[in-house]
Amino acid sequence: MMEHLLSVDDLGGRAGIESMLDLTDSFLEVTQRDIPKVPALRGKTVVSLFYEDSTRTRLSFETAAKRLSADTMTFSVSTSSVNKGESLLDTVQTIDAMGVDSIVVRHPAAGAPHRVASWTSARVINAGDGCHEHPTQALLDAFTLRRHRGPSLDGCRIAIVGDVRHSRVARSNVMAFHALGCELTLVGPPTLMPERLDGWPVAVTPDLDHVLPDVDVVYLLRIQRERIGQALFPSLREYAARWGLTVERAARCKPDTLVMHPGPMNRGIEIAGEVADSARSLVTEQVGNGVAVRMAVLWSLLGSGGPIV
């Protein structure tokens, strides 16, 4: 049984991921009701502990918790004692002492949720840690894609384009998509590819135009302006010209090729606005499915009551 969700690894491979996606189906139905709420986690308390601003992820988790009737608390770093120098350990021990059931952690340092998990009896969910992982993003992406290409994603060809090196989304998605049988190609400037790819079940190329005609999904990553200052690529203009999904490039894809992006998008840089808004784009749907996926995760950690034997 899953104790925490710190990494896609914790989901238990293909079977575990698929059962989580199946569970998400049940919750998607709940979110589409007139009263999109069930009493499943009445009396449970979920705390979001966010050391990075990410209103969309935090709201998605808190909405999920509320739709399960859990109580939610936000520990926002900007208004808290962390500003007075309180350590992560002390903060977690304070939250733990309040008797919460789950802590949703977003932190700029890789592995911070693992540390939190070692300090609390609450179930810890990784909502993004440094460049490490973002497992619920991978689940919602897989769920979204499965609704279009499912039930099986075996053989689905996905290009993940952009700053893979610094992307927690890419790390989680590579693992999840691979577990589900997808064929993955990483595309981007070599400076933004992982320094070493031992054990990564992927092909790598700098040439986006070469892979576009063959792929079923183009998954674009957000590009950060600060990488220019680190001498990783010369300019946003050059990036957009070589690795942006422009209207012209999108036109060279197969008619049914889908476009995904974890958001927030830099329109006109990694993705053209017209492409983001086109029929092949799943971007809005990804966001919508986030709540159902996080309901499934919260339920699995807090509600299912233990392994079914």
Partner 1 sequence: MSRDEMSRDEMSNGEVFVQGGRVIDATGERVADVRVVDGTIVEVGPALAPSAGATVLDAAGCVVAPGLVDIQVHFREPGREDSETIETGSRAAALGGCTAVVCMPNTDPPIDDAAVVQSVLDRARVVGLCDVRPAGCITKGRRGEELAPLGELYDLGVRVFTDDGDCVADALVMRHAFEYAAALPGAVLAQHAEDPALVRGGHMHEGAWSARLGIPGRPAVAESTIVARDLQLAKRTGGRYHVLHLSCAESAALVRAAKADGVRVTAECTPQHLVLTDEACAHFDPAFKMNPPLREQADVDALRAALLDGTIDAIATDHAPHTPESKDVPFEEAPPGMLGVETALAVVLTTLVEPGILTLAQAIGALSWQPARVVGLDAEGHGGPIVAGRPANLCVIDPAHSWSVDGARLASKSRNSPWDGWKLTGKVRHTIYAGVPTVRDHEPTR
Partner 2 sequence: MSPQQAGESNARDSSGREVAGAVEDAGAGDAGAVLRTHVFDAVDLRRALTRIAHEIVERNHGADDVVLVGLYTRGVALARRLASAIASFEAVEPALGALDVAFYRDDIGLRPVAPLGPTEVPDVSGKVVVLVDDVLFTGRTARAALDALLELGRPRAVQLAVLVDRGHRELPLRADYVGKNLPTRSSEDVRVRLAEVDGDDGVDLWGVPEREDRDR
Helix (H, G, I), strand (E, B) or coil at 264: coil
Residue 124: which of partner 1, partner 2, none does it interact with, CB under 5 to 8 A by kind? none
Of these, 33, 237, 252, 254, which contacts partner 2 (CB under 8 A)?
A: 33
| Strand, helix or coil for residue 270 | coil
Nearer to partner 1 among residue 131 and residue 302 (C-beta): 131
Out of 1, 15, 109, 247, the only residue in the binding site for partner 1 (CB under 8 A) is 109
- The count of residues interacting with partner 2 (CB under 8 A) is 34
Q: Which does 99 bind (CB under 5 to 8 A by kind): partner 2, partner 1, none?
A: none
Give yes or no for residue 226 binding partner 1 (CB under 8 A): no
The pair of three-digit structure tokens given for residue 173, joined into one six-digit string: 């998605």
- Can you tell me which of 85, 199, 305, 306 binds partner 1, judged by CB under 8 A? 199
Closest separation in Å from C-beta 76 to partner 2:
28
Residues in 157-186 that interact with partner 1 by CB under 8 A: 165-166, 168, 171
Beta pairing class for 202-205 and 123-129: unpaired
Which residue lies nearer to partner 2 by CB, 22 or 238?
A: 22
Report d(CA 106, CA 58) in Å as an integer.
9
- With beta carbons less than 8 A apart as the criterion, state whether 219 and 156 touch: no
**What residues pair up with 107 in beta bridges, in sequence order?**
129
Choose between 122 and 250: whose C-beta lies nearer to partner 2. Answer: 122
| Other CB atoms within 10 Å distance of the CB of residue 249 | 16
CA distances from 293 to 57, 106, 129, 196 (A): 12, 17, 18, 31
Q: Is the Cβ of residue 104 or residue 240 nearer to partner 1 in the bound state? A: 104
What's the closest the beta carbon of residue 307 comes to partner 2, in angstroms?
6
Hey, what are 166's tokens?
């610094």
